[in-house]
Amino acid sequence: MRINPDFTIQKVGGSWVAVAVGETSKTFHGMVRLNETGAFLWKMLAEKDCTEEELVEAMLEEYEIDRETVTADIRRIVETMAENGLFVPGSYTPAAEDAGEPEAEDAPEAEDAPEEAE
């Protein structure tokens, strides 16, 4: 995924805000507030195409935080960015959610099924 170049971030006071520029500013009239973590991720995504895993690794290097927390936080931030159209179209694919269905190896095999009486 990569940040849409029709958006930019600016530090206003103590906060970061993303605003539309160019043609996009004609249809997107709001702004998206970002915290320091959001701004850190934005800068990475503006420089190059990154996967969620690459963002996780960068956050682990930059901040003292556990993998589980950073993974959940990045997923939430990325989903919010996607919902607001901040990525280059087609560059973001939502992470697959665990459907809770058993994997193929957990499913009973045909030979384990009870035999029918004749």
Query: Is 50 exceeded by the pLDDT of residue 100?
Result: no
Query: Is 80 exceeded by the pLDDT of residue 33?
Result: yes
CA–CA distance, 36 with 89 (Å, rounded to integer): 25
Query: Is 80 exceeded by the pLDDT of residue 54?
Result: yes
Q: How many of the other CB atoms lie within 10 Å of CB of 110? A: 5
Query: Is 80 exceeded by the pLDDT of residue 106?
Result: no
pTM for the model: 0.72
Q: Which residue has the tokens 């029918």?
A: 116
pLDDT recorded at residue 109: 40
For the chain, strand residue ranges (E) read 7-12, 15-20, 31-34
Amino acid sitting at position 108: P
The number of residues in the chain equals 118
Residue-wise pLDDT tens digits, 74-98 = 999 899 889 888 998 888 887 655 4
The SS3 assignment for 47 reads helix
Residue-wise pLDDT tens digits, 56-76 = 999 999 999 999 999 999 999
Q: Which residue has the tokens 């702004």?
A: 31
Query: Is 70 exceeded by the pLDDT of residue 1?
Result: yes
The SS3 assignment for 88 reads coil
